[in-house]
Amino acid sequence: MLNVRDLHAYYGKSHILQGVDMHIGSQITDLGPLEDAFKLLVEFVGTLRADGHTISHVDFGGGLGIPYQHDLPNPPEPAVYAEMVKRVTKGLDATLMFEPGRVIAGNAGVLATEVVWVKPGVANPYVIVDAAMNDLMRPALYDAHHDFVAVKPTGETMMANIAGPVCETGDTFGMNREIDAVKSGDLAVFRTAGAYGATMASTYNSRPLVPEVMVEGDRFAVVADRIAAETIIAAERVPEWLKK
């Protein structure tokens, strides 16, 4: 953490700071490290104010982690997190700011997909789905876990690898996983895809972006249209000097 001397060396003594922020990491599910960090930041605000800085805004960074795996303990509830913040910041007299996007959006979204083929494997079969790494990048990017469940489970399970149709070794969603038993044509979902799902998607290999559908009870609406491959290609231009 920067100290006051560092700040003066960088900004100059006359520069008045109005806010500070911090970020100690993502997907934290233990309040202990967050509380320790928040206490340090509150102490730092006091030091800065004693040196003449205003500090009217304090940004505590990202929010709580969320339960990506159903068989792991649930993280603390937001209300418990809020009580900790209230206790640590009592008397701070500043506008508190947070960036809790994942805890709001994460479990609000799923990626729906269809099983294309259950391909026999040496140890376990490969469940090939029509979703791919371009639709949900997190597993390929940093081996993130997303529960995979059948829309209409039979009660039976199977050990399998889950993969997409893109010709990349990284186009896998899970290896050696116990999942609902599925077959070609079945519908399934990857859970907890509401955060860092659509925002990280791409049109890799000219695959269209999937549409986004908002659901409430028995109502639904398409809130982001599918971008077809033809639309992507239509936006490309051949320079005149290549046409000759």
Active site residues: 167
For residue 166, report the phi and psi dihedrals to the nearest 5 degrees: -75, 140
The SS3 assignment for 223 reads strand
Query: Please, how many CA atoms are within 13 Å of residue 181, restricted to the half-sphere of its CB?
Result: 5
Task: State the alpha helices, DSSP H only, in the chain.
Answer: 4-11, 31-50, 78-88, 101-105, 138-142, 229-234, 240-243
Residue 92 and residue 230: Cα distance in Å, rounded? Answer: 55
- Exposed, middle or buried, 20 (CB in 10 Å: 0-12/13-18/19+)? buried
